[in-house]
């Protein structure tokens, strides 16, 4: 996979391309197969990032205990929307990492451990 940065125009074009009907069919099959592991990764990333911290729990409690039904509903909708956006962003990040790893096995380990870049993808030291 290319290490070059993508321009906004390239990303816009790619998004238009994958928006065409039927373009995501194969990707959906692959993702469906990987759902249990992807859910675990995304859940872990959200928790590690503090998205479901004590502050989040407090917001849930405040929304649930709101005495005004209309305000309670509005707060709950806002929480669901925020969580959906966060999960989407983490999911896209995981998707990029997965694509990079599929294109170049060992990429994720090398990026997580800068010292690993001196080793081959199988962990062998440099020659």
- Please determine, for residue 91, whether its predicted confidence score (pLDDT) is greater than 90: no
How many angstroms separate the Cα of 89 from the Cα of each of 29, 95, 118?
21, 10, 31
d(CA 86, CA 50): 11
- Tens of pLDDT, residue by residue over 50-83, are 777 787 888 889 999 999 999 999 999 998 998 8
- What share of the chain has pLDDT > 70, as a percent? 86
């Amino acid at each position: 996979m290319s290490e070059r940065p993508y321009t906004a125009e390239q990303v816009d074009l790619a998004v238009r391309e994958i928006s065409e009907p039927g373009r995501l069919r194969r990707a959906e099959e692959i993702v469906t197969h990987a759902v249990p592991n992807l859910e675990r990764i995304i859940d872990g990333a959200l928790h590690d990032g503090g998205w479901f911290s004590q502050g989040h729990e407090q917001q849930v409690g405040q929304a649930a205990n709101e005495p005004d039904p209309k305000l309670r509903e509005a707060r709950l909708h806002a929480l669901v929307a925020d969580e959906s956006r966060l999960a989407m962003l983490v999911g896209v990040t995981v998707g990029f990492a997965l694509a990079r790893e599929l294109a170049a096995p060992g990429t994720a380990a090398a990026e997580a451990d800068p010292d690993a870049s001196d080793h081959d993808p199988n962990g062998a030291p440099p020659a």
